[in-house]
Amino acid sequence: MALSTSASMMTQAQGVAGLAAAAVVPTLVVLIATHYKGTQQAQALGLLGAARASAGVLAFLIVGTIGSLLGWRVPFGLLGFLAISVFILSFRLKPVARQHGVQIDWVGAILAAAAVMLLSLGFNYLNAWGLLLAQPRAPFDILGLSPAPPLIVLGIVLGQAFFAWSHLRDELKRPTLIALEVPDWPQARAATFSLLIIEAAPAA
């Protein structure tokens, strides 16, 4: 993002960021399960879910101020520095033993990552690209319409495809990316809808 020279390049960078965020969440959950137990584990998972909203608040306060005073590229450069720092500090964590014989559902992972990426792009740029008609800042238009709502719809479709694929693998007795019992748990559904509201609120 810091090195972007056009709106199209920024959009592509945002897509890569969404893909990376979707890929890193399962790793964070494994790390939490390994390093925390009992109440601390539940609190850590709750903080992980709230990280998106907390980051939004910090973006307004800190990144907005730095961007106004020093330029919009500086905050993204600082994020790169923070990412490198976190990577270096991660070597102090206790290593997680490799689980031999566990197969990753790569199709499910790609579907889930693509759904998260499209939903993030759609919601984040809903105001900038237009709620219905394409705004001048939109990177492209679809017959004069904003690309943001179609991205959201496509993200929802891919999300449903992910669950359909997971149910199919479960019927074939193959490992799935997530335990299908989780979406049937009322508390988990409530948490999912809460995160959706958190994601959609900034765009509104």
Residue 133 pLDDT: 82
**What integer pLDDT is reported at residue 184 of this predicted model?**
63
Q: Is the pLDDT of residue 92 over 60?
A: yes
| Amino acid 93: pLDDT | 80
Indicate whether 110 and 36 sit together in one domain.
no
Nearest CA among 167, 60, 154 for reference residue 108: 167
| 30 and 92 housed in the same domain | yes
Is the pLDDT assigned to residue 197 strictly greater than 70?
no
The count of structural domains within the chain is: 2
Note the pLDDT of residue 125. 80
Using the predicted structure, report yes or no on whether residue 202 has a pLDDT greater than 60.
Answer: no
Domain residues for the domain of 61 are 1-97
Tell me which residue has tokens 């566990």.
Answer: 102
Give the residue carrying structure tokens 């897509």.
Answer: 15
Of 97, 125, 146, which residue sits at a domain end? 97
Last residue of a domain, one of 31, 66, 97: 97
Secondary structure of residue 2 in the 3-state scheme:
coil
At residue 88, the pLDDT reads 92
**CA–CA gap between residue 53 and residue 44 (Å, rounded):** 15
87 and 121 within one domain? no
Residues 111 and 199 in one domain: yes
Q: Quick one: average pLDDT of 117-125?
A: 81
Q: What was the pLDDT predicted at 181?
A: 66
Q: Are residues 121 and 39 in the same domain?
A: no
pLDDT digits (tens, 9 = 90+) for 11-50: 788 778 777 776 777 777 777 777 888 788 778 877 776 7
Same domain, 77 and 123: no
CA distances from 114 to 20, 22, 57, 95, 153 (A): 10, 8, 25, 29, 12
Rounded to an integer, the average pLDDT of 187-204 is 61
Q: 46-86, pLDDT tens digit by residue?
A: 777 677 677 777 777 887 888 888 888 888 888 888 889 98
pLDDT, tens digit (0-9, with 9 covering 90-100), for 155-183: 899 988 988 898 888 888 887 777 666 66
